[in-house]
Structure 1
Amino acid sequence: MHTLGRWLSQQRRAYRAGTMTGKRAAELEELGIAWDTADAGLETDLAAAPAYYELHGTLAAPRHTTALDQAVGHRLTNVRRPRGPGKDPVRAERRAAALAAIDPDWNPGR
């Protein structure tokens, strides 16, 4: 007997391997399945970044800061580190651009 988590992992592996049909992928996407859990977690936490920026005028949030019940400070601290936006250059650029759209100075160490 498989747990839901194990089944979802199998579906994600099939999706990445290209062995999943387009129909199955579309059906799972309609249910809200995130193919990349790292991206989903980051997007959830950083969804609060605009709210934090609106209140403080900066994304230089202290590490333990939360906004809209999300760990925005923790995530921002992590993405400022070298290779923090991600190992994949396309993904890293997309993440950095999304943060720069909120606050051009999101990464003051750069």
Structure 2
Amino acid sequence: MIDVAIAIDGEAVNVTRSRSGGAYNEDGEWVPGAAASATIRAAIQPVKGNQLMDMPEGIRAEAGWMCWSRSDILLDDVITHKGVRYRVLFVWPRDDGAFYRAALGKLA
């Protein structure tokens, strides 16, 4: 069995992950805060047909890339690779494996 984390390390490049900040106030309303950016290592690849079948239907039309990383990736993170910005549309839950897999959609 292939160790996916080792394969990711071999293909990963530096990308920027931006995550929105904020907190709930005492009234329970979301108050946006400053975005936090970090450089992570990730492999970005075009999505293949069989990978589309693993996604919920509403995401399939927008998702065009897959992201594999050993750094945490959350829904709605923004990944910047070679000057192109992508939004994380879907993250597959992982119970093991020490890596994250996400579907990305290109931002205008």
Instruction: Give TM class, smaller chain.
Output: under 0.3
Give the TM-score normalised by the residue count of structure 2: 0.23
Q: Greater relative contact order (Cα 8 A, min sep 6): structure 1 or 2?
A: 2
Q: Determine which structure has more spread, i.e. the larger CA radius of gyration.
A: 1
Give the TM-score normalised by the residue count of structure 1: 0.23
